[in-house]
Amino acid sequence: MTTDRNENRPGYKETKIGWIPEEWEAVTVREKATKIGSGITPRGGKSVYLDEGIPFIRSQNVQAGYFEPKDLQYISNEQNDKMASSEVKPKDILYNITGASIGRACLFPTEIGTANVNQHVCIVRLKANECNPSFAVRVMNSDIAKKHLYENQAGGGREGLNFQNLGNYRIPLPPLPEQEKIAEVLGCWDEGIQTLEDLIEQKRLRKKGLMQQLLTGKKRLPGFSEDWKTVKLGTIASIPKKQKLESVEGKSLLTVKLHCLGIEKNENTRPKLSEKGRPYFKRMAGEFLIGRQNFHNGGFGIVPKSLDGLIASNAITTLKIDQTKVCKNFLLMTFSNPDYYKRVGHRMDGTGQKELSEKEILTLDIPYPPLEEQKAISAVLRTADEEIALLEAELDALRKQKKGLMQKLLTGEVRCPEFRTAV
């Protein structure tokens, strides 16, 4: 750890992990731990998992700073007794030591009760009177840990961390009262972030409910009572002929994201023309695009101005919308209703990777209110989207502020008032 802002500051000292306050220590995890070890996968693997029993924690349950109970597996009491050495206890830190999730750490949630871990999750049990687990787990999830991880992964593919490596990990350690205060301060930030995350989720659920009601005509906006129709997409939109590109040199690809997340630039793939490959076409801002292989996964969107002129292959279809008949955003929101796009999967065809043919696209049934009602529904749902976007921006800013503060608190650059040393 190198902290330039602390270098040669009065009241700070140089250690193997950088400059830290004089009252702090630079210690290894092993010095402050009573246990560093993982479990095993029971003989028989998944076949021994039960619908209920003793929770069996795997790496997907250990996220950076929180425990994810989704997909938690269970083992029998007998199997847990055989693995007594890896039974988890209150205040234990769970730390992923292999695979893509290496380095994620969280506190064991005591409300789960008795639990065990597999070989991909390491238990770090700290000396209670010397190290605060909530403080330590924050250090393990911080930027401070990244350099250590990179330098000490044990696997040939740099995807493993053994117990010795983890035990050798040096951390900055204030006196216990300051550890507890830092954990308390960051805990307040976590509560604020969690409150905002919960609010965003509530707004998303509300919008989902609005979509299901408004886009099916179950709920009508004030001032509209005319009956809806059902029309084929081909009566309100068409598929225009586009000119194939003779060269793609220097061109950038766009891609249609899944789950109704819109269009983005593909930064990882460069387009290439080949005799047997797909042709490419230029796409313009405002075009309505459908990824025919992933329509049933929410693969569609409208090209934003920022991506005007990028290209895509003929695996992506352009719809020309007749805006005298249909509101483009109403059509997008109709498609974006999971109840709509997920049920299109059975119409996909092909011998290799299945896709929705252009002919099939034009036969899709579209709920069709009068144009002015379409615009009104679109405006209501767009307002909901804008409200969520503002909250997400606020959440992103809050997370960045917390990350910056955490880095400063965990390195001693910023001290809580009661622990500042007069110089």
Cβ neighbours around 19 below 10 Å, total: 21
Rounded CA-CA distance 170/160 in Å is: 18
**pLDDT for position 4:** 67
Q: In this structure, are strands 115-117 and 54-57 parallel, antiparallel, or unpaired?
A: parallel
Q: Are both 25-173 and 174-222+372-423 of the same fold?
A: no
Q: Which residues of 117-145 are buried (b: 16+ CB within 10 A; e: fewer)?
A: bbebbbbbbbeeeebbbbbbbbbbbbebb
At 327, which amino acid appears?
C
In 3D space, the residue among 26, 6, 29 whose CA is nearest the CA of residue 140 turns out to be 29
Taking the model in full, what pTM does it have? 0.84
Fold of 229-368: Adenine-n6-DNA-methyltransferase TaqI; Chain A, domain 2 (3.90.220)
Q: pLDDT of the chain along its 423 residues, tens only?
A: 444 688 888 999 999 888 999 999 999 999 999 999 999 988 888 888 999 999 999 999 999 999 999 999 999 999 999 999 999 999 999 999 998 899 999 999 999 999 999 999 999 999 999 999 999 999 999 988 877 777 766 555 556 788 988 999 999 999 999 999 999 999 999 999 999 999 999 999 999 999 999 999 999 999 999 999 999 999 999 999 999 999 999 999 999 999 999 999 999 999 999 888 899 999 999 999 999 999 999 999 999 999 999 999 999 999 999 999 999 999 999 999 998 999 888 888 766 678 899 999 999 999 999 999 999 999 999 999 999 999 999 999 999 999 999 999 999 999 999 888 755
At 346, which amino acid appears?
H
> How many Cα neighbours within 13 Å face the side chain of 202?
7
**Largest distance between two CA atoms of the chain:** 78
Rounded CA-CA distance 367/82 in Å is: 59
Cβ neighbours around 96 below 10 Å, total: 24
Q: Where do the structural domains in the chain lie, given as residue ranges?
A: 25-173, 174-222+372-423, 229-368
Give the chain's radius of gyration (CA, Å).
28
Superfamily of domain 174-222+372-423: Bipartite methylase S protein (1.10.287.1120)
What CATH architecture applies to the domain 25-173? Answer: Alpha-Beta Complex (3.90)
Question: What tokens does 260 get?
Answer: 């109704």
